[in-house]
Structure 1
């Protein structure tokens, strides 16, 4: 008996840290000392090689993109600093509710594309089909969005580089990174996302220093702009209604900008020791992101007034890169010459890293759909290193849509993708909350005590109801401005509401063709794939860190 409690009575040597699939280990007689993958479906060949630090930074990296550094300024223009801060704080509470739902379900059953497959098992097969394709569209659309953002950021320095060349280079880099073993994808995303963390922390510290007078003008401005021009701006209307609409615009901005639980959960099928790693990852990602988003929304309202002409002009004229960033605008106001270029470089890293995360999540969601028979079977094919190669290829083909900006212009294309992904993201969160409510009912109906689960979220099922109502309402209200007098545009309407109409069609189509039924709580399958997860957890032995540096990283992100 080893010190870990795993019996290796017939093994004459210390346990080997196997890295192949379960089938390979059985074939060669390798003791399952460290199971690197677990069969979670008939065709799941992915490998469990993502550590806690990888998953945490994948969650952070997928969430922090250009929206936190640049597009957040549009919310400031429309609602003012107080509205922006209140809206971001409120939406963080919604994300907490969704996180509690996902953490409990995914820790119980950490399989590939978990919430997509849970929706089919515990709600309705047709519901899982619609939810899965919605999530795939959401993630796949974000890839060309970030590629477009990369092009815009690079043109901050020079217009000489052709747009088509930038797009092609970014797509090729995504392809190279995502065909490597997931361990190397996780490693690359870890360091890229860590750069984002350093950037937002640096900008928060920068705000604190300059507001207290640490700037070339020695101007101790503090919260001056909350008084003049004021804490709240009006949008479209005047008076109280205008201020409320300004706040609502900020809430829409927050619903697009803030996420997290979906990116963490998509890594569950390739997470090392997920029963231990996933709860910590969910908690760490939520609390860190909440800190970044709340402080970030507060900082931009401190640095720049909502009526700043430079920022308004930058958004109106689609100025490239970080030119519209409130941070860069503030640096210009204070006479700081070098930092804008540094911020733009880090924003480029943020955009590239976010797009890389979206390629990963989109390909894994498509892979999960194929495993459940809801997408073509060939998409389940994996390379020997566990990468679902055809799923990755499909996502990269979709990313070619980003070439539209060559003729349409970056601002137009960015606006289309923002509208599309905002609606899809909110539908996705509604799906997660509804699936959890069905999971909660199934546990109760089948006599399973929630205290026996590996992780139990608090305030349930009330948190799930709160998340469901909030995300469902926002999904329908997110594009309301298109109905205001003088604002009607067909592309804006389609991209804002297309998925809200397509999802019911997908649901009814699958339901009619396959004659599926809503799953009764007492009949929900809560044990499929559970035995493999339990066996993996029982036999898992933590591999010792290879170096002091790895031990430090494990300590920081363990």
Structure 2
């Protein structure tokens, strides 16, 4: 996906990475040099520490990609569109996420700083654009924290209702606080092991699907692709005939657009990654394999295991059954009389929910920190602990997480679900922002005579890939609430849930633009070198510690 380039034209030759001889000559002082390099800031005023290692970054990418939606909510797509619609929708949307990943990877590997794509929006397009983009991303990530805490509570109640709701929420918040307020390496370690569990679960479920479909189950039923034929590969939604099948596919595509993620979680760790120009490209490249293995094959497996008209799955969703009860995998296990495995799946889904919430705390706090570094949030938020953690930002996010206590009351739980629904379009807006920032950056490189071949890494087929990602994400931002425009289906809450952030972002943009009198940068005016010296100095001084 990426090709290695040379040094940046118009700049002093980058000292880049030390050769093997240089590392050897470093002798016994290598550990000292490594320690100094790892703690150097990634930008002016940035006091975070580069202590996340390659294995942390790789697994953080997996942790951010896989959530409970891949195991449980994916069943709704099957009910709405059928197995073929689900598989096609997830496959098609993966190509758009891959396009966004390629845009993000090229910019972030060039300038791996804290909250990179948020800050790039302000630097490469317009400071007001960066303000709107940054707060959009923060609001989305912060709103998802109480949602995932609530998900943990619901999953635990799959086994028993004896555990009090408030106790589960309090314990989860305390653990999030400990993990995120200690040195960032502890966040990295936590995500490493949690994400490893997610990885093993989805791989295990894919193997389970293959084994049972060829007859390896207690019933000895070799069902193969039976459910693609009976009841069928496509189902109708809202209308009959071709229109109904098209709307079923569209509903699956909408679900895919809110389910599939990944590159933004990798990018947010860039400012705290050790040796980022080597580590980050590997992590971004791995997004392609994760998209293929987890989402494409996962959507295929679900359609193999369960028919779209399965009564148990439909009842589980309609009744709000706790935990993994509505998961197509659990439904298939129950049908095939397989014991114990449903409990194991529920336990691993609990790990997935916890890990997702942990990632949201990290990303929300770092996005707020990035806004503060750029002067778009109070300066006090740039304060970091001795371990390099922006503790004020983390505490603010944890305070927002207290909204999870609304779950204690049934009526308040409805308010929480509304709150989360209001930010559903934020992720797509964020991806559109990334593509716009990339296209402006691409134009700046061209206008300032900098060859993309000279960049540390170069994405393929640009700028066409950037335009492809932008068109897909921008269109789907408005498609998400299409049902309210169907005859007789107008619903004010649904309209607000679908389009609130679409309206809020322009207000943020216009408000900051009027307040600060910002301007849209011409390609020749865009500053491509801000913070670059700090990154190159870090790379020049970086000497890896030999593996133990």
Is the TM value for this pair above 0.5?
yes
Cα deviation, 1:246-274, whole Å, max 9, x if unaligned, reads 00110011011101110000000000001
Partner of 1:116: 118
**Equivalent residue for 2:540?**
538
2:510 and 2:253 mapped to 1: Cα distance? Answer: 31
CA contact (8 A) 1:138 1:420 kept: no
CA distance in 1, matches of 2:22, 2:538: 11
Q: Equivalent residue for 1:249? A: 251
Which residue of 399, 402, 414 corresponds with 1:400? 402
RMSD, aligned CA: 1.8
In 2, the alpha carbon distance for the partners of 1:3 and 1:78 equals: 56
Q: Aligned partners of 1:308, 1:185: CA distance in 2, in Å?
A: 40
Q: Which is worse superposed, 489-498 or 125-134? A: 489-498
Count, aligned residues = 531
What are the residue-to-residue correspondences of 1:256-275 with 2, within 5 Å?
A: 256-275=258-277
Once the two structures are TM-superposed, the CA of residue 157 in structure 1 deviates from its matched residue by 0.5
Question: Which residue pairs with 1:372 in the alignment?
Answer: 374
Are the aligned partners of 1:38 and 1:533 in contact in 2 as well (CA < 8 Å)? no
* 1:462 and 2:476 are equivalent in the alignment: no
Greater RCO between the two (CA within 8 Å, min separation 6)?
2
Q: Deviations over 1:302-327 (max 9, x none)?
A: 00000000000000000000000000
Aligned to 2:132: 130
Specify whether residues 412 and 316 from structure 1 end up closer, same or farther in structure 2 by C-alpha distance, changes over 3 A only.
Answer: farther
Q: CA 1:8–1:62 in structure 2 vs 1: closer, same or farther (change >3 Å)?
A: closer
Distance in 2 separating the partners of 1:271 and 1:420: 32
Q: Secondary structure at the match of 2:500?
A: helix
Q: Residue in 1 aligned with 2:67?
A: 65
User: Which residue does the alignment assign to 1:21?
Assistant: none
1:17 aligns with 2:17: no
State which of 344, 351, 355 in structure 2 corresponds to 1:342. Answer: 344
How many Å apart are 1:34 and its aligned residue?
5.3
Q: Residue in 1 aligned with 2:153?
A: 151
**Is 1:509 paired with 2:519?**
no
Alignment partner, residue 85 of structure 2: 83
Alignment of 1:79-478 (within 5 A): 79-408=81-410, 412=414, 416=418, 419-478=421-480
Shift of 1:400: 1.4
Aligned to 2:500: 498
Q: Once structures 1 and 2 are overlaid, which stretch shifts more, 420-429 or 302-311?
A: 420-429
Q: CA, structure 1 residues 299+214, in 2 after alignment: closer, same or farther (shift >3 Å)?
A: same
Query: 1:552 is matched with which residue?
Result: none
Contact 2:83 2:228 in 1 (8 A): yes
The DSSP-based 3-state class of the residue aligned with 2:425 is helix
| Structure 1: segments with no counterpart, 5+ residues | 19-30, 547-558
Where structure 2 has 5 or more consecutive residues not aligned to the other structure, the ranges are 1-17
Distance 1:372 1:240, change over 3 A: same
Give the superposition deviation at 1:491: 3.2
Shift of 1:519: 0.6
Give 1:532 deviation, angstroms.
1.0
Q: TM-score, normalised by structure 1?
A: 0.92
| Counterpart-to-counterpart distance in 1, 2:97 and 2:387 | 34
Report deviation, 1:542. Answer: 1.2
Superposed CA deviations along residues 159-195 of structure 1, whole A, max 9, x for unmatched, are 1222222111111110011011111110110010000
Q: Write the distance in 1 (CA, Å) between the matches of 2:156 and 2:312.
A: 20
Matches within 5 A, 1:34-53: 35-53=37-55
Render the CA deviation track for 1:208-227: whole Å, top value 9, x for unaligned. 00000111100000000000
Q: Say if 2:34 and 2:544, in contact at 8 Å, map to a contact too.
A: no
Q: Does residue 56 of the first structure (1) align with residue 24 of the second (2)?
A: no
2-structure distance, mates of 1:252, 1:33 = 46
